[in-house]
Amino acid sequence: MTVQRSRAQLSAVTRFALCIAPFFSACSGFQSVLDPKGPRAEAVAKLHWTLTAIATIVYIIVISALLFALWRASTRPPVIDEHEHHETPEQADVMKRGVVIAIAATVVIMLTFVVVSVSTGSTVARVGGTKPLRIDIVGHQWWWEVKYDDPDPQNIVNTANEIHVPVGRPVLIKMTSTDVIHSFWAPNLGGKKDLIPGHETTTWFRADTAGVYRGQCAEFCGHQHAKMAFYVVAEPRLDFEKWLGQQREPAKTPTDSLTQSGERVFLSGTCAMCHSIAGTGAGGTVGPDLTHLASRRTIAAGTLPLTTGNLAGWILDPQSIKPGAKMPPNQIDPQALQALLAYLGTLK
């Protein structure tokens, strides 16, 4: 009997633990506000923990006072006649003092909240550091266009859904959108900022730890809003320079017959109407630039890891992966598809 009961209790505890576990799973990891990797996110996380700590203490005090009052009332003899019950002047004094202290404490706490949040606001608003790296981001349904501007047009880098940044250097981002309002949000690095069509907004962040951080659109923008993600790759300065130098190169001319015919498939069909590959005749600006497609981690804005199989599925029937995406399904012969995949694989 006892064994059974203890087992039942245990299962209740387990069930409770299982229920609350998901709430804590968000506390760490590569897309979390509670795992800050830069000054902007750190300031907000600190504000969050400060407010939570104060609110928890206040909650515990209030609930303890309530329980104490209930306990004391239960130990006293019950009041028979309401009209006979009067407080002594001393009791009234004690109660008055209690109310004054409670009000004063509330005002002090509220003022503390104001001071803490205003100072957090100023930390978040000011770009932390000098000589920021400038990046332009354009929101599209449902992917991110990322541009690294340069005075020399030959050095402008256009990529998509993957933002490489050097560790420790602030990044200043200028954003706009081509269709609807999107919102840029990389929780580990900073708060959200909207991308508004016909209007420019700016935000900044600094990654202090090398790593890959996931971000996503935080403003509902249509069917595939949930599959509009991006990755911020924070790497040491030298690695970043190397990456940028490589991204500046145009695509290599295919050398063997398979990739050559793959390039022909790309240029003669529907692909080149929307996508660009620097160094070829493909100059479409509707979809992501594919000059260095094979150097990216994912396809379809963080929807699938970049593998040859996933790419093939995406090219043939994107609507089964991302219904409503602006890329049309394609009918390509198996041989032509293999050649195309081989060619796209060379776009490192």
Partner 1 sequence: MSRQSNRLAALAALVALGLIGCKREQRRFRETPPAATASNAIVMSTLQPGPAIVETGIRNPYEDNAYAVSEGKRLFDQMNCSGCHSHGGGGIGPPLTDNEWIYGSDPQNIFSTIVEGRPNGMPSFRGKIPNYQVWELVAYVRALGGLQGKAVRTTRDDHMMYKESEQARDQGHPTPTFVPPTSVKQ
Site for partner 1 (CB under 8 A): which residue of 274, 294, 304, 306? 274
Nearest residue (CB) to partner 1, 239 versus 317: 317
* List of residues 6+ apart from 293 with CB closer than 8 A: 299, 306, 344, 347
* List of residues 6+ apart from 203 with CB closer than 8 A: 173, 175, 184, 190, 193
Closest approach of partner 1 to the CB of residue 283, in Å:
11
Scored b (16 or more CB within 10 A) or e, 223-258 reads ebbebbbbbbbbbeeeebeebbeebbeebeebeeeb
- The interface with partner 1 within residues 18-47 (CB under 8 A) comprises none
- Binding track, positions 62-91, relative to partner 1; x by CB under 8 A: ------------------------------
* List of residues 6+ apart from 76 with CB closer than 8 A: none
Site for partner 1 (CB under 8 A): which residue of 77, 151, 198, 334? 198
Three-state secondary-structure class, residue 210: coil
Closest approach of partner 1 to the CB of residue 263, in Å:
16
Measured CA to CA, the distance from residue 303 to residue 161 in angstroms comes to 10
Nearest residue (CB) to partner 1, 148 versus 314: 314
According to DSSP, the residues that pair with 174 across neighbouring strands are 136, 202
- Binding track, positions 309-348, relative to partner 1; x by CB under 8 A: --------x-xx--xx-x-xxxx-----------------
Closest approach of partner 1 to the CB of residue 274, in Å:
7
Size of residue set near partner 1 by CB under 8 A:
18
| 123, two tokens | 């930390």
Closest approach of partner 1 to the CB of residue 136, in Å:
20
281 touches partner 1 by CB under 8 A: no
- The interface with partner 1 within residues 205-264 (CB under 8 A) comprises 223
State the DSSP H helix or E strand holding residue 233, giving kind and residue range, or none if neither: strand 229-235
Strand ranges for 236-320 from DSSP E: 298-299, 304-305
| CA distances for 163 relative to 70, 232, 272, angstroms | 58, 5, 24
Closest approach of partner 1 to the CB of residue 200, in Å:
13
Site for partner 1 (CB under 8 A): which residue of 31, 270, 280, 338? 270
Nearest residue (CB) to partner 1, 309 versus 323: 323
Residues that bind partner 1 (CB under 8 A): 198, 223, 268-270, 273-274, 286, 317, 319-320, 323-324, 326, 328-331
